[in-house]
Structure 1
Amino acid sequence: MDFRTLRAFVEVVRQGGFSQAARTVFATQSTVSKAVKQLEEEIGAPLLDRVGHRSLLTPMGEVVYRRGVKLLADRDDLIAELDEIRGLKRGLLKLGLPPVGSAMLFAPLFAEYRRRYPGIEVRLAEHGSDQLQESLRAGEIDFGGILLPAAPEFEALEVGSEPLVALLPAMHPLAARPSLAMGDLQETPFILFDRGFTLNRIILETARRAGFEPDVVARSSQIDFMVQLVATGLGVAFLPRLIAAQRRTPAVREVLLDEPGSEWTMAMVWRRGAFLSEAAQAWLALVREVHGRA
């Protein structure tokens, strides 16, 4: 059903005649008459009973008028809503962020995005990089903050890179050194993040390149808890240098991990070729504006 013919018919009923309806829809009386006739032919029944200069609704016409008013109102609402989304007055952005590094890298971006687009709803999910990649594949999120390297099916925009530091108890024999190799920690128990955190994979692969399988004594998703475990002398944990600097405590020392390929490199990642809504495109533009390299 053509909305143009439906609009003409509804206005004939509303305005009480063809000439009045023609002025409302900015058309000639002949055009309005043809539109109503076309609608009647499409439905296969007369909608107006023309009595002299008056036009009365037939039973079919009453149904079409009642439903038509609602259809036209819904259409107008749809167009208005789409215009709001195009104008970024409304919309939804689905972000997946990691527990490690989000405060440092993404909180300022998030705050600026909310300032620019207060009408956009931002839905956050917090997981490790492995789980975030699965969420991207499933279309559950638009973007994920993920440690590189990411799978080839994704596009990535780097947002930060930091060397790793080993967090050691202050009394550990290696705690006073400016840097160390992974092999130096072969006899020290490891405190790792929960499974699903890509940072674990970087640490374990680095240890295996050094020729050993570490003794993992604890796993946690809470950075502060891991730092406290180190402070008690339980073992060594690993964090990006800038994040470790935010959690300094006298009982723990930070020692640079001098191992090629062990850097913590975070990127904003999305599915290659995926449809990006207006809200998602605005987020990506902001990330590019702030970090400026793809």
Structure 2
Amino acid sequence: MRTVLDSRQLLAFSTVARRGSFTLAAKDLYLTQSAVSHAMKALEEELGCRLLDRVGKRVLVTQAGEQFLRHSEKILREMELARTGLDTLTNWGHGRLRVGASTTACQYILPTVLREFKQSFPKCVIKIAPGDHGDQLELLRSNQIDLAIMLEPVGHTEFTFVPLFEDELRFLVAPLHPWAQAGRVDREALAEETLIMYNKTSYTFRLVSEYFRDEKMALVNFIELGSMEAIKELVKIGLGAGVISPWIARAELQSGALVSFALGKRKLKRNWGVVHLRGRRLPLGEETFVGLCRTVTERFGE
């Protein structure tokens, strides 16, 4: 297997060919003439052909050298472009941000965060990958996203979890619902109530199912939807009791369009945060994004 050519030797060769002198090339490269001569000798030995001829005090490029010079200068230009690209990436406002988020986070968290983020990083390329809990973890593992706004991935030690807020899942009903009229949840009639819940394949549905099982509460009649807005609308028309966190329905609860009740004596709480692969050092843009997530969600758990 042939060894990879040394970029320093390519630069030295290109400079000697352009200047026609070992002395002038050494001056341009801040090297000794001996160092440049040794570099050319090593390069010619590696390639197995003569690249330069000395004619008196002049240095001429051989036919093989002319052909190799075209390739060398192309390689050096590509290396310079690569360096320039990296320099641009580190400039304020440039770079990329790949974020994963659940449908709920996409709708209620990301818009405000991204609006603030774009003001600080106007030229940053942003990619959003929506998906549920398991999807986000797989995207992180495969390096398809950098960060994910999601519920805490309990038991997954390969990730770092940066906490944002804690919320509680509760029953939400319309003002004319019997529970709202009575001011309490009728536990005896709970099995007959239609519950309107988030997607059956979601992590949240699993949490609610486990809670009901542990509390010896029946989960028999339910409607599953993939949109929190749709859940709220069905609850408003009295089709059943939704299982939602209050921060998702803050406006409806404040206006009285919906009424909230605890699921039971034991609260069902969840931890939201930003997740990334453990050991990754977050660049400035990602650190800024996490900070904005904290600011935007600081009152969500209230």
Q: Tell me which interval the TM-score lies in, with the shorter structure as reference length.
A: 0.7 to 0.9
* Alignment partners' CA distance in 2, 1:250 and 1:32: 79
Q: Is the 8 A contact 1:163 1:256 kept in 2?
A: no
What's the counterpart of residue 139 of structure 1? 143
Shift of 1:290: 7.7
CA 1:27–1:177: 2 relative to 1, 3 Å:
farther
**Structure 1 residue 273 and structure 2 residue 285: aligned?**
no
What's the counterpart of residue 65 of structure 1? 69
* Alignment partners' CA distance in 2, 1:138 and 1:266: 22
In structure 1, give the amino acid aligned to 2:127. R
Shift of 1:177: 5.3
Q: SS in structure 2 opposite 1:170?
A: coil
Q: Which runs of 5+ in 1 are unaligned?
A: none
Q: SS in structure 2 opposite 1:55?
A: strand
Shift of 1:258: 4.9
Q: Which has the higher helix share?
A: 2
Q: SS in structure 2 opposite 1:40?
A: helix
Q: Is the 8 A contact 2:147 2:274 kept in 1?
A: yes
* Alignment partners' CA distance in 1, 2:187 and 2:280: 39
Moved more, 247-256 or 42-51: 247-256
What's the counterpart of residue 263 of structure 1? 269
In structure 1, give the amino acid aligned to 2:234. L
**Structure 1 residue 163 and structure 2 residue 150: aligned?**
no
Q: C-alpha deviations, 1:155-186, integer Å up to 9, x for none?
A: 21111222333221332210145564877633
* Alignment partners' CA distance in 2, 1:92 and 1:181: 51
Q: SS in structure 2 opposite 1:263?
A: strand
**Structure 1 residue 172 and structure 2 residue 177: aligned?**
yes
**After superposition, where does 1:206-245 map in structure 2 within 5 Å?**
206-245=211-250
Q: Is the 8 A contact 1:96 1:126 kept in 2?
A: yes
Q: Is the 8 A contact 1:181 1:258 kept in 2?
A: no
What's the counterpart of residue 196 of structure 1? 201
Q: Is the 8 A contact 1:92 1:121 kept in 2?
A: yes
Superposed CA RMSD in Å reads 3.0
CA 1:178–1:32: 2 relative to 1, 3 Å:
farther
Identity of aligned residues (%): 27
Q: C-alpha deviations, 1:180-199, integer Å up to 9, x for none?
A: 48776332111111233222
**Structure 1 residue 54 and structure 2 residue 54: aligned?**
no
Task: Report the number of matched residues.
Answer: 292
* Alignment partners' CA distance in 1, 2:276 and 2:233: 35
Q: Which runs of 5+ in 2 are unaligned?
A: none
CA 1:241–1:276: 2 relative to 1, 3 Å:
same
CA 1:285–1:161: 2 relative to 1, 3 Å:
closer
* Alignment partners' CA distance in 2, 1:151 and 1:115: 36
**Structure 1 residue 25 and structure 2 residue 7: aligned?**
no
* Alignment partners' CA distance in 1, 2:178 and 2:297: 39
- Normalising by structure 1, what TM-score? 0.84
Q: C-alpha deviations, 1:238-291, integer Å up to 9, x for none?
A: 221121123459895322315434124311112223565664455446557888
What's the counterpart of residue 117 of structure 2? 113
- Normalising by structure 2, what TM-score? 0.82
Q: SS in structure 1 opposite 2:126?
A: strand
What's the counterpart of residue 95 of structure 1? 99
Q: SS in structure 1 opposite 2:125?
A: strand
Q: Is the 8 A contact 2:89 2:95 kept in 1?
A: yes
In structure 1, give the amino acid aligned to 2:171. A
In structure 1, give the amino acid aligned to 2:278. R
* Alignment partners' CA distance in 2, 1:179 and 1:269: 37
Shift of 1:18: 2.4
Shift of 1:152: 2.6
Q: SS in structure 2 opposite 1:155?
A: strand
Q: Is the 8 A contact 2:179 2:186 kept in 1?
A: no
CA 1:197–1:246: 2 relative to 1, 3 Å:
farther
Match of 1:7 among 11, 18, 24: 11
Shift of 1:49: 2.3
What's the counterpart of residue 45 of structure 1? 49
Q: Is the 8 A contact 1:165 1:254 kept in 2?
A: no
